[in-house]
Amino acid sequence: MHPMQLRLGLDMALNALALDFKQTPRHWSVLGLLLLLIGGAVLAYVANTERSLTGQIELAEARMAVLAKRGKFKPMQPIDAQELQQDIRQANDILQQLALPWDSLFKAVEANSEKEIALLSIQPDVNKHLVRIGGEAKNFDALLAYITRLEQSHILNHVYLVSHEVRTQDAEKPVRFALLANWSVQP
């Protein structure tokens, strides 16, 4: 035999496999038994709760059916998501408008008007922070003085004369005007 072959044979003989076909009994650990008992208790609780809730749902549905037959209850119609979103947007717009400092705007507009100015309309645009003011002035100089006073207020700025008209059919010839101003909204 070749010396290498002899050496391989010896190595194989030394590393023989030891197989044990006899099964040793397993011992239950206390932790494993405890976890099994807790899991069983949780499963029983969940099953009992599910059974109870199912019974309550069936009872409520039966009551609704009885009330619907008597005409005292109208089942709800499915809610349209887009319509609901639109309603929410409108409600938010209204809340936003209610939260604005309307009092300070009206005080600023009224405080700067005098006997020579008669206010006819105030139209705020909340989204653009603009206010359109309509009125009549005794004369053009009174109108220019009113615009200057509005410019000096802290609530309105960039006040522009959008249109004006001298009312020639009136004896006093008042000036009807429309102003546009930026509204400094400070909630």
Q: Report pLDDT for 9.
A: 53
Supply the pLDDT for residue 75: 66
Tens digit of each residue's pLDDT (9 = 90 or more) over 82-129: 888 888 888 888 887 777 777 777 777 777 677 888 888 888 887 788
Q: Residues 129, 134, 135, 137: what is their CA dihedral angle, to the nearest 10 degrees?
A: 70
Res 26: pLDDT: 67
Q: What is the pLDDT of residue 146?
A: 87
Write down the pLDDT at residue 63.
86
pLDDT at 56: 94
pLDDT of the residue at 104: 75
Spell out, as residue ranges, where the chain has pLDDT lower than 50.
Answer: 187
In this predicted structure, what is the pLDDT of residue 58?
A: 93
Sheet harboring 156-166: ordered strands across? 117-125, 130-137, 175-183, 156-166
pLDDT at 47: 93
DSSP SS3 for 18: coil
The pLDDT assigned to 185 comes to 66
Q: Report if pTM > 0.75.
A: no
Confirm if 113 and 121 have CB atoms less than 8 A apart. Answer: no
185: closest CA among 96, 121, 111? 96
